[in-house]
Amino acid sequence: MNRFMARLTDILVYPARFYESLTDRKATLIAGAIMVGAIDFLLPDINNAAKLLITGKPVNDVLFNIFIAVFAILLLGFIDVVFMGVPLYDISAYLKKKEVIISEEDEGEGYTSFSPRPESKAPVVHNASLIKVMKAYIISHFLFIPVQTALYYILMRNITDNSPAWMQNLALILFMLIFIWASAILTRGINVLFRFNPVFRRLTFIIVFTWNFILNMVFDMQIMNWVLKLFR
């Protein structure tokens, strides 16, 4: 049973070795940020993006909108990845320092007045960096975005304010499940990179979920609205 759960976890949130293989190469980070920007702009409904850019518009406006779309994808990708990655990295680095302090205090309690305490502590080794945390966020999209898009076309696209209450509630439940899943993927990446102990791993999920929720609300309600006003 434990082996099955471990395999299932690796499938749903990536194996730990996958995060450990992340590098600090900036080229792949930039490519990933552009991909995230394209996802933010085009999905879940590509038809809406096409209508915004070209449907019923003169040639000059189409060319202008395509140029703005390229700019919007770059801007959205930068905002999404940086505003998600930087705060989570800073908070995780702070928690790692607290974890080290707590660990050292716990070790110190094991020494008696007759036992010499070590003069220096070996640093806790981890391979986390800001670029790797941002990459962990980027690669999380490869898991939940296909499922989210499929659910949109199968169910959520046809749900409106006039739909039955059970359909609206089902859509809300599915949205929250996808949201929890996305947060769990990023949490796994941060925990692997920083090598947190079990207590801090649970705290990491709460932080990731909360910040992910706040940023998504601001992103959808404000930033996307500002970007859409740029188009003709």
Cα–Cα distance, 17 to 39 (Å, whole number): 26
Cα–Cα distance, 68 to 81 (Å, whole number): 20
* Overall residue count recorded for the chain in this entry: 232
Ranges of each domain in the chain = 25-106+123-228
For the residues of 155-219, what is the DSSP string, one character each?
TGGG--TTS-HHHHHHHHHHHHHHHHHHHHHHHHHHHHHHT--HHHHHHHHHHHHHHHHHHHHHI
For the record, the structure tokens of 74 come out as 């770059």
Cα–Cα distance, 197 to 194 (Å, whole number): 9
135 touches 28 (CB < 8 A): yes
Q: pLDDT tens digits for the chain (232 residues)?
A: 678 888 889 999 999 999 999 999 999 999 999 999 999 999 888 888 888 888 788 889 889 999 999 999 999 999 999 999 999 999 999 999 888 777 666 555 554 443 444 433 444 567 899 999 999 999 999 999 999 999 999 888 888 878 888 888 998 999 999 999 999 999 999 999 999 988 889 899 999 999 999 999 888 878 888 888 888 8
Residue 188 confidence (pLDDT): 96
Residue 133 confidence (pLDDT): 97
What is the model's pTM? 0.88
Tokens 């909360």 sit on residue: 210
For residue 119, which amino acid is it?
E
- Neighbour-count burial for 9-34, b at 16+ CB within 10 Å, e otherwise: eeeebbebeebeebeeeeeebeebbb
Residue 92 confidence (pLDDT): 95
Residue 56 CB burial class (10 angstroms; 0-12, 13-18, ≥19): exposed
Strands (E), the chain: none
Residue 114 confidence (pLDDT): 38
Cα–Cα distance, 4 to 16 (Å, whole number): 16
For residue 154, which amino acid is it?
I
Residue 119 confidence (pLDDT): 39
Residue 209 CB burial class (10 angstroms; 0-12, 13-18, ≥19): middle
149 touches 44 (CB < 8 A): yes
